[in-house]
Structure formats: C-alpha cells, structure tokens
Amino acid sequence: MNIITIKNITKVYKVGTEEVHALRGVSLSIDKNEYVAIMGPSGSGKSTLMNMLGCLDTPTSGLYLFKGISVSEMTDNQLANIRNKEIGFVFQTFNLLARYDAIHNVELPLIYAGVPKDERRERAKRALIDVGLGDRMNHKPNELSGGQRQRVAIARALVTNPSIILADEPTGNLDSKTGEEIMNLFQEIHNKGNTIILVTHEEYIAEHAARIIRLRDGHIEKDEIIKPQKTSQQVIS
C-alpha cells in the first residue's frame, strides 16, 4: 500500500525578486515498510522535498497524496494533525527542549494529540525503553551524550506510532561510532515494520536503506533499490 504518492511536484521560493526553483517536477511513491534514503548535494532540493513529505510545507504545484488524501488542500490545522499523528521527525540537531527531561521530551507530541497524562507517561516510558534509555528517563538533554540525545529524539518520533519516520541527517552531529549505533537502531525500527525516510548526503549512511533516491537540481537523478525489500511475511518472522 502506498503511504506517499507525489506526482510532478514543484516548489518555487521567492527570494527578494528572484525566483528559486527548489523542486522542478518530482514524482515518486513510497510503500509501507520501505526504508528509503534521499540523497543529494546541498542545493539539490532534498531538504525542500523532506519538508514537503513531512507536511511542513506545501508544494507550489503538483499532487501530494498522503495515504490517498491530497495534502495540498489541507488547512494548517489538518497539516498539524497529520504531522502529529502520522509523521515522526528526527533532526540532525536533535531539537530536544533543554528545560525538559527525557520523558517529558518524548511526551510532547502526545500532549498535542490530546492523550491524557497517565497514558502519555506510560507510552513515553515504553518508547524510551525501546530505544535503550530505560535508565535515563529523568535526565535532561545536557546530562545525556549526543547518541543518547538522538535516541530520545527517536523515541519522541516513535511514541505516536506514526506511519512514517522522517530523519534528516540523523547522524550529522554524531561521531561515526555513535552514528553507526543510531543507524542500527533505525534498522531495528525498520525491522519492526516501520516506514523510514532518511535524508543524508553521506553515502555510507544511505547504504543502510533499501532504496536510494538521488536528487540533483530539483530533479530525481536516480531511484534505485539496493536491497530486496522485506515482505510483511518476513517482518512477522
């Protein structure tokens, strides 16, 4: 089943009087339980594409269907809802709230989903245990290492059981060993049946994915499957 279908999407920014064409007609579709890496040099439009996929931004023209519903026609509130319930973001800079301890950071999306306090606490705990931080729940971000912070961020992305995990350079601020651990965590998450979209410019990070989409100058340059996709059968076993 297609979670994401985009057809001939363009995005034009106005910078002063200049028009910048960040995307010049991109089409792709992503299935449930895919593990996709989006690659490209800076200026290739991969960030724009990611914002689009994450419903943070709407295309200038073209069609974007999220689970069969057109995103371009959604109101701000509907977009916020989709981001809240269907998409889990993982950022390069973690973007944890410094004042909040780990468990509160993970709870955050559930607050906006209107989940009552006790259930929120319970789900946040489970998500933290899932990413291996069961013993760090009450630590604030500045008491955690970079890898641990990114794990908190991943727990925050997972806690709402989203349809896709959208990770933007998740290892960009980590040393290669910790980065590798985080990539292994993504692999685990993928193995549990989650759909992951990874944005990176590092070849060796992209190779963790099963499919690599390469962007250049706002076009898809190459879209290749590098590993056989697991079927649902394999996921269960």
Question: Shortest Cβ distance from residue 53 to another protein (Å)?
Answer: 12
Q: Candidates 30-38, 59-67, 72-80, 216-224: pick the segment binding another protein (CB under 8 A).
A: 72-80
Specify the residue, 11 or 211, whose C-beta has the smaller distance to another protein. Answer: 11
Distances (CA, A) of 19 to 47, 97, 138, 219: 17, 35, 47, 17
Q: Which of 61, 95, 138, 176 binds another protein (CB under 8 A)?
A: 95
Report how many residues bind another protein under the rule CB under 8 A: 24
Separation of CA 203 from chain center: 18
| Binder of another protein out of 17, 42, 77, 142 (CB under 8 A) | 77
DSSP the chain: -EEEEEEEEEEEEEETTEEEEEEEEEEEEEETT-EEEEE--TTSSHHHHHHHHTTSS--SEEEEEETTEESTT--HHHHHHHHHHHEEEE-TT----TTS-HHHHHHHHHHHTT--HHHHHHHHHHHHHHTT-TT-TT--GGGS-HHHHHHHHHHHHHTT--SEEEEESTTTTS-HHHHHHHHHHHHHHHHTT-EEEEEES-HHHHTTSSEEEEEETTEEEEEEE-SPPPPHHHHH-
Q: Give 26's Cβ-side CA count (13 Å radius).
A: 35
59 binds another protein (CB under 8 A): no
x/- site string to another protein, residues 143 to 182, per CB under 8 A? -------------x--------------------------
- Residue 22 Cβ vs another protein, minimum distance, rounded to whole Å: 11
Quick check: 99 binds another protein (CB under 8 A)? yes
Residues of span 111-150 touching another protein by CB under 8 A:
111-114
When binding is defined by CB under 8 A, the residue of 97, 129, 225, 235 that contacts another protein is 97
69 binds another protein (CB under 8 A): no
Site map for another protein, 34-53, x if CB under 8 A? Answer: -----------------x--
CB of 59 vs another protein, minimal distance in Å: 13
Q: Footprint of another protein on this chain (CB under 8 A)?
A: 51, 54, 56-57, 76-77, 80-81, 83-85, 89, 91, 95, 97, 99-100, 108-109, 111-114, 156
